Amino acid sequence: MLTIIPICVSIGYSKSYRGDCMATAFPPYWRAIPGMHRLVGQKCKKCGKVNFPPRKNMICTYCGATEFDEVHISRRGKIVTYVVASRMPPGVIGPEAFAIIDTDDGARVSAWSTDCFPKDYGAKEGSPIKCDMPVELVIRVIGNPTPTPFYGFKFRPIME
């Protein structure tokens, strides 16, 4: 039973590049800052699983309990599954991979790729993405064409 809320997709890409939405795009981002800047998730007091991004309705996705502890989820994990997107919105230079990642401490995160070329486009050496590949989450600009700051986590292949 999994619920993945691609928070960076809904905030960073679909709303932000439409100029008229600027006034309304910032408040949801502001509420999501602990998750997007610091990877703060909710650990269920009953089942012990981590909900990320934090649930606004305060109900655990896994067991329905309503009491949580704030935790920082690990920045390292492995790719569960991914898709490569080739047609990107204006301002985003693609192709980029969008992946579901299981972090080392058991949380499930969805993020876009960075610091890798899912397909060869201009790079002399590519770095393809695979399932089970160890990755780390790093902070990047996720809504680049916007005049407001939109920072969030993206994943990159792990540094040796």
Partner 1 sequence: MTIGIVGYGVYIPWCRVKLSDLAEAWGEKFPFPVEKTVPFWDEDTITMAAEAAQNAINHAGIDETEIGAIYFGTTTNPFLEIQGSSILKTMIEVKTDTLTVDLTDSARSSTLSMIACMDAIRSGSIKYGLVVGSDMLVGKPGSDLEYLASSGACALVMGRENLIAEVEGVASYGTEFSGRWRSETQTFPRMTMERFVREQGYIHHVVTAGTKLMEKLEKKPDDFKYAVFSQPDLTYPTLVARRLGLTMDQINPGMIGMSVGYTGSSSVLLALATVLDKAKPRERIMMISYDNGGSDAFSILTTENIEAKRQNIVEKYLKRKTYVDYNTYLRFNRVFEKLPG
Asked whether position 149 contacts partner 1 by CB under 8 A, the answer is yes
Beta-bridge partners for 40: 72
With CB under 8 A as the contact rule, which of the stretches 2-10, 60-68, 103-111, 122-130 interacts with partner 1?
A: 122-130
Beta-bridge partners for 135: 77, 157
- Compute how many residues bind partner 1; rule: CB under 8 A: 29
Give Rg (Cα) of the chain. Answer: 16
Asked whether position 27 contacts partner 1 by CB under 8 A, the answer is no
Residue in 42, 61, 114, 146 binding partner 1, rule: CB under 8 A: 114
CB 72 within 8 A of CB 53: no
Asked whether position 138 contacts partner 1 by CB under 8 A, the answer is yes
Could you say which DSSP state residue 73 is in?
A: P
Asked whether position 20 contacts partner 1 by CB under 8 A, the answer is no
Asked whether position 74 contacts partner 1 by CB under 8 A, the answer is no
Residue in 10, 18, 19, 38 binding partner 1, rule: CB under 8 A: 38
Residue 160 has a CB neighbour count (10 Å cut-off) of 3
**How many whole angstroms separate alpha carbon 155 and alpha carbon 160?**
15
Taking alpha carbons only, the member of 106, 100, 3 closest to residue 48 is 106
135, two tokens: 């990755």
Residue in 23, 24, 27, 124 binding partner 1, rule: CB under 8 A: 124
Q: Which residues of the chain form contacts with partner 1 (CB under 8 A)?
A: 33, 37-38, 89-93, 114-115, 117, 121-125, 127, 138-142, 144, 149, 151, 154, 156, 159-160
